[in-house]
């Protein structure tokens, strides 16, 4: 069982790298971590306790969510990530995916136990009880 999650992460990362997440003209693209910032998602995951999905900006937690919902929960602050200062989203849940909505209407699915960086303006989050995207 333990080997499934790393394979799932590799498959999701490969899909992101091939542009599946960029299908909306690049408005909601996962930003690959540069070697100098590779530890940022790991640090964020360390400060986001199970069973939360947390949002971080410049290393500061700006939101945390835990409720499974049928619709999106609005993000009143509408945080914006840039290439030099992305939004890190960490999903610590073991079996639930998190959907991230951007101001363009694009949504991105974050698998369980996964953390990544995003650019763009986030407007909503929805945690689903589905274990796969």
* Residue 124, pLDDT score: 96
pTM recorded for the entire structure: 0.68
Q: Which residues pair with 116 in a beta bridge?
A: 89
pLDDT of 83 above 70:
yes
* pLDDT digit string, tens, across residues 91-100: 999 999 999 9
**Which of 73, 121, 113 shows the shortest CA–CA distance to 97?**
113
* pLDDT digit string, tens, across residues 17-72: 333 333 333 333 333 333 233 444 555 555 899 999 999 999 999 999 999 999 99
Cα four-point dihedral sign 53, 69, 93, 16: negative
């Amino acid at each position: 069982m333990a080997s499934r999650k790393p394979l799932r992460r590799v498959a999701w990362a490969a899909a992101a790298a091939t542009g599946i997440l960029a299908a909306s003209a690049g408005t909601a693209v996962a930003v690959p971590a540069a070697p100098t910032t590779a530890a940022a998602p790991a640090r964020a995951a360390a400060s986001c306790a199970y069973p939360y999905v947390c949002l971080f900006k410049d290393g500061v937690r700006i939101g945390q969510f835990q409720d499974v919902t049928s619709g999106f929960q609005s993000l009143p602050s509408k945080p914006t990530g840039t290439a030099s200062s992305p939004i890190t989203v960490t999903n610590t849940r073991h079996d639930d995916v998190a959907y991230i909505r951007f101001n363009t209407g694009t949504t991105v699915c974050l698998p369980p136990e996964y953390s990544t960086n995003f650019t763009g303006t986030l407007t909503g989050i929805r945690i689903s009880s589905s274990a796969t995207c």
